[in-house]
């Protein structure tokens, strides 16, 4: 995973709460077996509407999405994160993220920064007042800067550390393989196994 | 120390305690007892293993099935959609390469992954269960800690049989009282979501408690736990009891003999201690609950079926007001319209929420001896091939076919329309599934989430209806109060 320390890019105000993962990427795009190439899929239904924010210059070149509360609800599809990244987004700001979406973002190096709703409203106003304004998301100091607005954001320490270091989760866990093996030896015999298969 | 059910299951799976509160403190590493796999969220994970030269650590704790893309008609023919076919073939290749048990289309154990696990007896109390699917919360009905995960975590579990997890907060959902006839588990969970909102459970594991929950069957408990994710929760649980054991006993992978006794002894400890405390608590009165239905485009936008479409002005919060306005526009509804005046085009009975035997029986009991509204298309999609076989053995297929419904093969089907079962633009559906998101069931489609008995009554009247709105059937059709 690429390291993330700070990013500055055009902010995109998405004034909408409950942006679910079916909107971020409709199920029809989930049939692909690759991990990349989802930029066309991002918000594909909404992008058919010419007035949608991502169809308006300069937001087409945006890389920091500023969304309403409860972003990424619904399906566990990591494709939602891949699509945002493939389009060019490096960070998403919201006052509340769905758990699985936030987890997926952390694994993929997309920064999900939890900013208070009051600050989100201020940033929305700024981005609408001066379209093209850049937003800086600094993971070291956990702050967002947009025009004169300086807002703190929340992210859990472990995800922050992994993003800053660009660390692979599986590699970290496999350092503890002896613990896993030791645990496995203690599992009770009544716990089910899928193999050999028993059928009705 | 007194513990909640969720904390007990958590503690029993800690492979390695976290490092504490430091900036790079690794959270608890938890062992995963069962990993369920399907074709949509696994190909990139298998590919990740291959690229890193890693093995799948525990094929004997992993099981796969085909469900999201599978057609519900002509299953003996090659899948017409080439990308769907490729994705399914990729799963087959991956399972063969990594030694994973797979139940393919045409197999009696194929079906929606969350129906298959419990049906085989692989889902048991006190387990940790994960799947690259948000509705993994279903398995919490057995007192398991069951979570949906993303593809990176799928790969992590494949490689290590563990997950690094931050502890969750706990929330008690107390449902006391007795459900009235025609009111079901689906109405309980829709009412809970309307009450706490789509983000209300964020960061929590929910435990459903109280006399109304204890009275529910396993099928009904699965319906409730299934939609925990729609309240934003990572998991939902019900403590195991005699109802759970009765369901488990004799299933192919249930423990036997001395193992059964040891298991039951352990399962009996899986109850929240009397003096344990929850971080939050929500109460719901089962006695006064009515059939529930959604009017909007997120599962929290619901009302009792006897109410009317709300007005955006009813919402104090500006964002909720804007969301309601947008939802009404998408749904083509006017504020103030009685919900029961809303005419639908399609009724979908299926999905991991409501596609088990009890759901099919409850709907069949309503429609038996009655006629379908001629303008309604009704799809009945059993949750698994096994459910389909059982339903046919009871003659339920005949009841549905005589009524004019389409009796299909098992899969996720119109819940998310990855296969050909989709709504047309503007088509309105009463659906027993779990998500009413824009375009979820097909581009431009409009979804009202309902229970199986409301779906059945709606198919008869053509408008959103509860069983109590129906004229008596020629031969009396009992309404099951315990229905999902």
Q: Which residues contact B32 (CB under 8 A, 6 or more apart)?
A: B13, B61, B128, B129, B130, B157, B161, B162, B163
What's the whole-number average pLDDT of chain A? 96
Q: Give the residue-averaged pLDDT of A80-106.
A: 98
Q: Is A199 exposed, middle or buried (0-12, 13-18, 19+ CB in 10 A)?
A: exposed
Is the ipTM here above 0.90? yes
- How do the residues of chain B divide into helix, strand and coil, expressed in percent and rounded to 5? 35, 15, 45
In tens, the pLDDT along B237-286 reads 999 999 999 999 999 999 999 999 999 999 999 999 999 999 999 999 99
Give the residue on B whose Cα is nearest the Cα of A102: B150
**What's B35's DSSP letter?**
E
Q: Which of B362, B384, B433 lies closest to B72 in space, CA to CA?
A: B384
* Pick from A104, A176, A198: CB nearest B16: A176
Q: Is the dihedral of CA B252, B253, B256, B261 positive or negative?
A: negative
Q: Give the residue-averaged pLDDT of A76-105.
A: 98
pLDDT at B167: 84
Q: Is B463 helix (H, G, I), strand (E, B) or coil?
A: strand
How far is A82 from B399, CA to CA, in rounded Å?
45
Point out the residues of chain B with pLDDT beneath 70. 474-484
How far is B114 from B137, CA to CA, in rounded Å?
9
pLDDT at B70: 97
How far is B356 from A170, CA to CA, in rounded Å?
36
pLDDT at B177: 98
pLDDT at B474: 62
Q: For residue B310, what are the CA distances in angstroms to A20, A123, B60, B314, B371?
A: 22, 30, 51, 7, 31
Q: Which of B436, B21, B7 lies closest to B204 in space, CA to CA?
A: B7
Q: Which residues contact A19 (CB under 8 A, 6 or more apart)?
A: A67, A68, A70, A71, A72, A73
CB B456 within 8 A of CB B470: no
Burial B107-142 (b: 16+ CB within 10 A, else e): eebbbbbbbbbbbbbbbbbbbbbbbbbbbbbbbbbb
Contact status of B268 with chain A (Cβ, < 8 Å): no
Q: pTM for this structure? A: 0.96
How far is B136 from B118, CA to CA, in rounded Å?
11
How far is B14 from B163, CA to CA, in rounded Å?
10
- Which A-chain residues 114-153 have CB contacts (< 8 A) with chain B? none
pLDDT at B22: 72
**Can the peptide bond before residue A196 be classed as cis, meaning omega within 30 degrees of 0?**
yes
- Which B-chain residues 451-480 have CB contacts (< 8 A) with chain A? none
Residue A127 has pLDDT above 90, yes or no: yes
How far is B179 from B285, CA to CA, in rounded Å?
9
How far is A91 from B463, CA to CA, in rounded Å?
44
- Which B-chain residues 53-72 have CB contacts (< 8 A) with chain A? 54, 57, 59-63, 68-69
pLDDT at B475: 54
Question: What is the pLDDT confidence band of residue A43, given thresholds at 50, 70 and 90?
Answer: very high
Contact status of A20 with chain B (Cβ, < 8 Å): yes
Q: Which residues contact B91 (CB under 8 A, 6 or more apart)?
A: B37, B38, B39, B42, B43, B64, B66, B102
- The encoded tokens of residue B445 equal 């489609």
Q: Is B481 helix (H, G, I), strand (E, B) or coil?
A: coil
Q: At what angle do helices B151-160 and A99-108 cross, to 10 degrees?
A: 70
How far is B29 from A181, CA to CA, in rounded Å?
13
């Amino acid at each position: 995973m690429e390291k993330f320390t700070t990013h500055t890019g055009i902010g995109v105000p998405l004034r909408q709460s409950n942006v679910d993962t079916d909107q971020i990427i409709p199920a029809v795009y989930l049939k692909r077996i690759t991990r990349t190439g989802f930029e066309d899929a991002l918000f594909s239904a909404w992008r058919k509407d010419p007035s949608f924010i991502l169809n308006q210059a300069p937001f087409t070149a945006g890389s920091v999405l500023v969304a309403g509360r409860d972003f990424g609800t619904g399906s566990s599809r990591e494709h939602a994160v891949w699509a945002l990244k493939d389009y060019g987004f490096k960070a998403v700001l919201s006052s509340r993220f769905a758990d699985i979406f936030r987890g997926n973002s952390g694994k993929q190096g997309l920064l999900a920064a939890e900013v208070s709703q009051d600050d989100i409203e201020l940033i929305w106003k700024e981005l609408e007042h001066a379209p093209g304004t850049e937003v800086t998301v600094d993971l070291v100091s956990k702050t967002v800067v947009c025009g004169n607005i300086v807002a703190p954001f929340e992210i859990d320490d472990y995800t922050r550390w992994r993003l800053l270091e660009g660390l692979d989760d599986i590699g970290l866990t496999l350092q503890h393989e002896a613990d896993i093996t030791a645990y496995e030896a203690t599992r009770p015999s009544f716990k089910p196994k899928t193999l050999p298969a028993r059928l009705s | 120390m007194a513990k909640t059910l969720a904390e007990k299951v958590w503690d029993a799976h800690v492979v390695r305690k976290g490092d504490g509160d430091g900036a790079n403190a690794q959270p608890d590493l938890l062992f995963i007892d069962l990993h369920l796999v399907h074709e949509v969220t696994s190909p990139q994970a298998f590919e990740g293993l291959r690229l890193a030269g890693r093995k799948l650590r525990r094929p004997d704790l992993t099981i796969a099935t085909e469900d999201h893309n599978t057609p519900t008609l002509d299953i003996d023919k090659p899948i017409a959609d080439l990308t769907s076919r490729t994705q399914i073939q990729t799963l087959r290749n991956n399972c063969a390469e990594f030694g994973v048990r797979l139940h393919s289309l045409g197999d009696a154990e194929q079906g929606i992954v969350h129906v298959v696990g419990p049906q085989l007896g692989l889902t048991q109390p006190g387990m940790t269960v994960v799947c690259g699917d948000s509705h993994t919360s279903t398995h919490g009905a057995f007192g398991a800690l069951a979570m949906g995960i993303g593809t990176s975590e799928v790969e992590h579990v494949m490689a290590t049989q563990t997950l690094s997890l931050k502890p969750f907060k706990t929330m008690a959902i107390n449902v006391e009282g007795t459900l009235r006839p025609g009111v079901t588990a689906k109405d309980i969970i829709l009412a809970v979501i309307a009450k706490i909102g789509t983000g209300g459970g964020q960061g929590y594991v929910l435990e459903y408690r109280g006399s109304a929950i204890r009275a529910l069957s396993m099928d009904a408990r699965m319906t409730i736990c299934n939609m925990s994710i729609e309240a934003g929760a990572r998991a939902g649980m019900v403590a195991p009891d005699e109802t759970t054991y009765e369901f488990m006993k004799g299933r192919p992978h249930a423990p036997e003999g001395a193992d059964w006794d040891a298991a039951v002894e352990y399962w009996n400890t899986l109850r929240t201690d009397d003096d344990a405390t929850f971080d939050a608590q929500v109460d719901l009165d089962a006695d006064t609950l009515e059939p529930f239905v959604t009017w909007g485009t997120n599962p929290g936008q619901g009302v009792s079926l006897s109410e009317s479409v709300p007005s955006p002005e009813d919402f104090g919060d500006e964002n909720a007001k804007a969301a309601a306005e947008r939802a009404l526009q998408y749904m083509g509804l006017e504020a103030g319209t009685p919900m029961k005046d809303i005419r639908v085009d399609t009724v979908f009975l299926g999905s991991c929420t409501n596609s088990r035997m009890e759901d099919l029986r409850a709907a069949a009991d309503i429609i038996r001896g009655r006629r379908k509204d001629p303008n309604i298309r009704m799809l009945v999609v059993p949750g698994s091939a096994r459910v389909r076989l059982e339903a046919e053995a009871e003659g339920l297929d005949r009841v549905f076919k005589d009524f004019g419904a389409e009796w299909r093969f098992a899969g996720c089907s119109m819940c998310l329309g990855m296969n050909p079962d989709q709504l047309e633009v503007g088509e309105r559906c009463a659906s027993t599934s779990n998500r009413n998101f824009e375009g979820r069931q097909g581009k431009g489609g409009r979804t009202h989430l309902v229970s199986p008995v409301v779906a059945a009554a709606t198919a008869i009247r053509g408008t959103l209806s509860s069983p109590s709105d129906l004229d008596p059937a020629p031969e009396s059709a009992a309404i099951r109060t315990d229905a999902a």
